[in-house]
């Protein structure tokens, strides 16, 4: 069992706004992901891992430049997943790191990265395991700017659609699997 609290404390010390945003958002994602675990025992999902990885999936936001959510780093926000993955690999958590790097959007394919000229390595960052998919799916219902509310499926779809049809198709597939 991973002590995700210690890892968050290591990178987000004190009681700052960014720490609060990270924790509230991550708790919302974890809660929704764990609801899916409970609704779908037939999927044999790893409940403990899902909770830990959901709490750590956005650990890399601290290194990004997103002042609207109190991030004052230097990297583009789109990179928070790969930055978080690097942090968690250094912590000895390669499985959790995969969730970080594969949760942006509805995952990102090499085609999406190249066609949108995203500042990411040219490779697929698609959720592969069911646990990765559940966390990525749950994440799409919560923003870091409106921490007090869950988006409807329609609003989540609209958000994802802005970035292309590939991600929207993945999200709709997860809707069928997880709802």
Q: What is the pLDDT of residues 97-136, one digit of tens each?
A: 999 999 999 999 999 999 999 999 999 999 999 999 999 9
Structure tokens at 16: 């700052």
Please tell me the total number of residues recorded for the chain in this structure: 179
| Residue 58 pLDDT class (50, 70, 90 cuts) | very high
For 4-178, the fitting CATH number among 1.10.3210, 1.10.287, 1.25.40, 3.40.1350 is: 1.10.3210
- Going from the C-alpha of 167 to that of each of 32, 35, 56, 113, 163, the distances in angstroms are 20, 23, 22, 12, 7
pTM over 0.85: yes
Whether the per-residue pLDDT at 36 is higher than 80: the answer is: yes
CA 94 to chain centre: 15
Kindly state the percentage of the chain with pLDDT values over 70: 100
Mean pLDDT over the full length of the chain: 95
Quick one: average pLDDT of 17-31? 97
Task: Convert 75-105 to b/e letters by CB count within 10 Å (16 or more is b).
Answer: bebbbbbbbbbbbbeebebeebbbbbbbbbb
Quick one: average pLDDT of 66-93? 97
Whether the per-residue pLDDT at 179 is higher than 90: the answer is: no
CA pair distance 56, 157, nearest whole angstrom: 24
């Amino acid at each position: 069992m991973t002590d995700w609290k210690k890892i968050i404390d290591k990178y987000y010390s004190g009681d700052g706004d960014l720490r609060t945003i990270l924790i509230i958002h991550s708790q919302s994602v974890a809660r929704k992901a764990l609801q899916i675990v409970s609704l779908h025992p037939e999927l044999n999902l790893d409940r403990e891992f899902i909770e830990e990885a959901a709490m750590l999936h956005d650990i890399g936001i601290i290194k990004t430049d997103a002042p609207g959510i109190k991030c004052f780093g230097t990297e583009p926000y789109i990179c928070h997943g790969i930055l978080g993955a690097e942090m968690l690999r250094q912590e000895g958590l390669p499985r959790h790191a995969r969730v970080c790097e594969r949760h942006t959007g509805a995952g990102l394919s090499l085609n999406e990265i190249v066609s949108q000229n995203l500042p990411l390595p040219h490779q697929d960052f698609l959720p592969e395991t069911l646990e990765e998919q559940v966390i990525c799916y749950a994440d799409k219902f919560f923003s870091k700017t409106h921490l007090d509310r869950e988006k409807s499926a329609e609003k989540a779809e609209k958000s994802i659609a802005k970035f292309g049809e590939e991600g929207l198709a993945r999200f709709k597939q997860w809707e069928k699997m997880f709802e």
